[in-house]
Amino acid sequence: MSATSAIHALPDASRTVTSPRIVPPATGESSRATARPGSSSATGRSSARKVADVISLDGELRTLARSIAQASIEVLAGTRPVQQLSRSLDPRCLSALQHRAALTRAHAARSLAGRSRLHRSPVVRSVRVCTVKEGVYEASVVISEELRSRAVAMRLEGSNGAWKVTALEIG
């Protein structure tokens, strides 16, 4: 059997395998009355809910990482005050970003052309988030500017219902 016929054979074989129902049939008693802990329908619904929660959290963290990365680049450009990130970054990251922004602006001030072209129109190209452990995630963001593309990496830790960036690296 060739590789392509094996690929086409898999969907047909999976249709004949009976799997536990996630949603009970429409006829009969209500699903809450028939679903027992540990039964396939109760387990299917709870695992589906967990998957939905993970997808929702992943989307939330991607959005947060995107906005923090773009705001950090804008801080380096001098178009955004660093204090706007004080709720999202821990004090160590905030002071490091503030120091780097001051150095970047000082360097740009020495070259007249550098100031006009410094960090213009940053556009987020991609965002990736992965789990390190429960409540701790790492994100990588690619941001393109007029002259170059940059990588931003961050570690997000959840505590007291809020996410804080505990490590921030801008390439």
pLDDT, tens digit, 9 for 90 and up, residues 11-63: 444 333 333 334 333 444 443 444 444 444 445 556 666 666 666 778 899 99
Q: Where are the beta strands (DSSP E) in the chain?
A: 123-133, 136-144, 149-159, 162-170
pLDDT, tens digit, 9 for 90 and up, residues 33-46: 444 444 444 455 56
Q: Where are the domains of the chain?
A: 40-170
The fold of 40-170 is Nuclear Transport Factor 2; Chain: A, (3.10.450)
pTM confidence score: 0.65
Q: What is the pLDDT of residue 113?
A: 55
Q: Is the dihedral of CA 82, 83, 84, 90 positive or negative?
A: positive
> Mean pLDDT, to the nearest integer, of 85-96?
94
Spatial separation of the C-alpha atoms in residues 153 and 92, rounded to whole Å? 15
CA dihedral (147, 80, 64, 160) in degrees, to 10, reads: 150
List Cα–Cα distances, 112 to 50, 115, 117, 147, in angstroms: 54, 6, 9, 16
Q: Where are the beta strands (DSSP E) in 15-135?
A: 123-133
Confidence of residue 117 (pLDDT cuts 50, 70, 90): low
Q: Which of 19-28, 36-45, 103-112, 162-171 has the weakest average pLDDT?
A: 19-28
